[in-house]
Amino acid sequence: MNETMTTLLNRRCVRAFRAEQITDEELNAVLEAGKYAPSGANQQSALFIVVQDRDTRETLSRMNRAVNGGDSDPYYGAPTVVLVLADTTKVTPVEDASLALGNMFNAAHALGLGSCWVHRERQMFESDEARRCFASGAWRVTTSAWEPAFLATPTANARWRPRARTASS
């Protein structure tokens, strides 16, 4: 089997990470893969916000927990969170953001990084607090596709769940 198929078939969500930050080279490679994702009408509407600042990451974690009602870190301790947005004035914003995430997850796996998709971001970013955090006088994006990925090096004891089914089942 070729390397691309091996990556696609073996990538899993990871929920146990080392505390150290990923390298700039790793981050840039993952973002580049996201930029090259297909998009509706080639409008390339996906935008990325990288959060590596500890305080901002903790704010995101707290806001996400408020939506979910839980008390555990929804990002599982990963030091890098990438928010993927898409401009709702474009043809297919949700699809564009989702395809970008898929490319980023596969790239992360190919580089030996772990990643996971966390939901509830759309609800989280509907709050007044979130709007204050990410709106600025010069930069505003009207979005319907707030979805996060988080990236980090998996711990040695990270376990992957087996696939629930295969293409032939």
The reported pLDDT for the residue numbered 145 is 44
The reported pLDDT for the residue numbered 12 is 82
- Span 118-139, average pLDDT: 67
CA distance 102 to 149: 10
Selected from 3.30.930.10, 3.40.109.10, 2.60.40.10, 3.40.1050.10, the CATH number assigned to the domain covering 10-152 reads 3.40.109.10
* Dihedral sign, Cα of residue 33, residue 34, residue 37, residue 43: negative
Q: Which residues contact 115 (CB under 8 A, 6 or more apart)?
A: 13, 14, 104, 105, 108, 109, 149, 150, 151
pTM over 0.85: no
Looking at per-residue pLDDT, the higher value among 161 and 121 belongs to 121
CA distance 99 to 112: 20
The reported pLDDT for the residue numbered 37 is 94
Q: Give residue limits of the domains in the chain.
A: 10-152
User: What does each C-alpha distance from 15 to 46, 75, 95, 160 come to in angstroms?
Assistant: 25, 8, 25, 9
The reported pLDDT for the residue numbered 165 is 58
Percent of the chain with pLDDT over 70: 78
Q: Which residues contact 132 (CB under 8 A, 6 or more apart)?
A: none
How far from the centroid of its chain's Cα atoms is residue 14's Cα? 12
CA distance 122 to 27: 23
Looking at per-residue pLDDT, the higher value among 89 and 102 belongs to 102
**Type of residue at 123:** Q
- Span 85-108, average pLDDT: 88
Query: Is the confidence at residue 158, as pLDDT, over 70?
Result: no
Q: Counting Cβ atoms within 10 Å, is residue 8 exposed (0-12), middle (13-18) or buried (19+)?
A: middle
16-50 pLDDT, tens digit per residue, is 888 889 999 999 999 999 999 999 898 888 888 88
The reported pLDDT for the residue numbered 142 is 44
Average pLDDT over the chain, rounded to whole? 79
Order of strands, sheet of 114-117, starting from the edge strand that comes earlier in the sequence: 46-51, 80-86, 147-152, 114-117
* Identity of the highest mean pLDDT range in 45-49, 118-122, 128-132: 45-49
CA distance 102 to 136: 29
CB 31 within 8 A of CB 103: no
Query: Is the confidence at residue 77, as pLDDT, over 60?
Result: yes
Looking at per-residue pLDDT, the higher value among 58 and 10 belongs to 58
Q: Counting Cβ atoms within 10 Å, is residue 24 exposed (0-12), middle (13-18) or buried (19+)?
A: exposed
